[in-house]
Amino acid sequence: MPSSRRQFLKDTAVKATGLAAITPAASQVFVTPMAKAEPRLKFAAIGLNHGHIYGQVEAVTRGGGQLVSFYAKEPDLVAEFQKRYPNAQLARSEAEILEDKAIQLVLSAGIPVDRAPLGIRVMQHGKDYMADKPGITTLEQLAQVRKVQKQTGRIYSIMYSERFENRATVKAGELVKAGAIGKVIQTIGLGPHRMNIKSRPEWFFDKKYFGGIICDIGSHQFDQFLYFTNSTQADVVAAQVGNTHYPQYPQFEDFGDTMVRGNGGMGYVRVDWFTPDGLKSWGDGRLTILGTDGFIEIRKNIDIGSSRTGGNHLFLTDHKETRYIDCKDVEMPYGRQLIDDVLNRTETAMTQAHCFLATELALKAQKMAQKVNL
């Protein structure tokens, strides 16, 4: 298991393209190519600043998208992307992609503060948009995005990958909808991450670029809270953030937590940058879903209490038993559903209201959070 989240994402993309993945150990693991649908639309990428872009591209490609072009200002990021996707054309400018009428969908994992302004330009050019999270970094950006989305009728999707790209979480959604644990009462989402200071760009340490820890990595948890509690309205009850260990980066936050209450249930979120080097993963991410007739626990990336390898571990406890469910063959439908939505003007991958509400809650929690000084 890669120790870095960034490396994990890149390795996952390599596997998805059917290339051999070589582990640090002496042995080699050869990965069976993932099934990909015949191309149904053309898409492009603008902004490659986070490794999530590879997961985004693979999700859309699996769903039937054809990557035709990309653009980024940074030569090193361009070179790496070109190596991975040699058939995609490097555009001379952002405008070249936006004005290409054959392209229907644009993806971005640019610097977070730049994602919403780009999304607005994409929608104004008659195209749909999928951003890495956080897809929006301020409430002012959110208001403008909502306005333009309503005016244009385009799709503004944010890839909350801890749900969309985690097989165990997808399976949990199927189980909850089937009534496996009764009515959901609460979710507890834990999102620990490893710092890897040496590999981080300068913008990573200044929250004016990434929005703050709750806005950034906490956005995954708000998405899952809304989804599993089936909440369509919610309020932030309390929140706190702090920079407890990195005084050399005064604009950084390494810890955050929040409580939220919706019209379908309650939630608790904790995110941090304290994954120790001894863990064979970038973070022991977990989700607990409490229901009236049982509970589900998902260990997203690693199961430290057993000999099981890899991630996507799901445990279900009900009135009869506790059982482990292997999720390795569960389909991740987000890319296929998003393409369906682009072509059919539907909302099967995620409703626009849900997408914006998850972001709104994260932004409000970030704004109201009390500063912790230890």
The predicted structure's pLDDT at residue 233:
98
Amino acid at 248: Q
- Please report which helix (H) or strand (E) contains residue 312, including its range: none
Residue 134: cis peptide before it, omega within 30 degrees of 0: yes
The predicted structure's pLDDT at residue 11:
52
List helix spans (H) across the chain: 5-16, 52-62, 75-84, 94-98, 112-124, 139-152, 161-164, 167-177, 207-210, 213-216, 219-229, 334-344, 352-368
- For residue 40, how many other CB atoms are within 10 A of its CB? 15
Task: Determine contact, residues 191/162, Cβ cutoff 8 Å.
Answer: yes
Record the tokens describing residue 37, joined without a space: 């649908």
Cα 139 versus chain centre, distance: 19
The predicted structure's pLDDT at residue 305:
86
Record the tokens describing residue 247, joined without a space: 């005084």
Single pTM value for the model = 0.89
Task: Determine contact, residues 76/138, Cβ cutoff 8 Å.
Answer: no
Nearest Cα residue to 162 out of 227, 96, 213, 115: 227
Cα 123 versus chain centre, distance: 21
Task: Determine contact, residues 221/176, Cβ cutoff 8 Å.
Answer: no
Q: Are strands 313-318 and 322-326 parallel, antiparallel or unpaired?
A: antiparallel
Distance CA 254, CA 240 (A): 11
Q: Are strands 313-318 and 103-108 parallel, antiparallel or unpaired?
A: unpaired
The predicted structure's pLDDT at residue 16:
42
In the chain, the largest separation of any two C-alpha atoms, in whole Å, equals 61
Record the tokens describing residue 118, joined without a space: 């780009």
**pLDDT 10s per residue in the chain (374 long)?**
444 555 545 554 444 443 333 222 322 322 334 456 679 999 999 999 999 999 999 999 999 999 999 999 999 999 999 999 999 999 999 999 999 999 999 999 999 999 999 999 999 999 999 999 999 999 999 999 999 999 999 999 999 999 999 999 999 999 999 999 999 999 999 999 999 999 999 999 999 999 999 999 999 999 999 999 999 999 999 999 999 999 999 999 999 999 999 999 999 999 999 999 999 999 999 999 999 999 999 999 999 988 899 999 999 999 999 999 989 899 999 999 999 999 999 999 999 999 999 999 999 999 999 999 98
Any idea how long the chain is? 374
* Residue whose pair of structure tokens reads 């801890």 in the numeric block: 162
Distance CA 190, CA 222 (A): 11
The predicted structure's pLDDT at residue 268:
98
Record the tokens describing residue 83, joined without a space: 């190596």
* Residue whose pair of structure tokens reads 């015949």 in the numeric block: 38
- Domains, the chain, ranges and CATH? 5-160 (3.40.50.720), 163-332+363-372 (3.30.360.10)
The predicted structure's pLDDT at residue 33:
41
- For residue 132, how many other CB atoms are within 10 A of its CB? 23
- Please report which helix (H) or strand (E) contains residue 308, including its range: none
Report in angstroms the alpha-carbon separations of 178 from 82, 112, 171, 298, 330.
43, 36, 11, 17, 16
